[in-house]
Structure 1
């Protein structure tokens, strides 16, 4: 008797969707101060990508308003978000969701 493939439900249950957990940072630069907001998301790869795009858009639009924000904080937020999305993409590739 052959083993069931991963796409076939076993014992009458449908296959469970893969859920990912990620945390992205939204940085808002001000002339003197800076504000960080964490955006946590738990969901499918599509939901994580949407949260990533939202966080990166926020950083690119509102993160450059200040000297320290422009030189240090916002680039750190952008690279940190990119790194987190790269980690999730590697997990999704390992699960066969992304090619």
Structure 2
């Protein structure tokens, strides 16, 4: 079963900010970053239980080759994935914990 995906506004802000940062480094890499994020989101929608639990019901999917993680939870009742953040792996994961409280 393929789940629908809801990206919370804060996660969209994460994506926009990181894409802008990469575009400042190199124009093409910003688009490549966005493409890799959306490919990983597509994979998550098809295999939501594939990734490990990080905090309560929050799961983490790593985005290769970029050092980023997509944080999400599964809303089984609505058959959807809810993205709560896209963060650099060196950032404090407690940021995500605060977002879901």
TM over 0.5: no
Give 1 or 2: higher strand fraction.
Answer: 2
Q: Which has the larger radius of gyration?
A: 1
The alignment's TM-score, normalised by the length of structure 2, stands at 0.31
RCO higher in structure (CA 8 A, sep ≥6): 2
Q: TM-score, normalised by structure 1?
A: 0.32
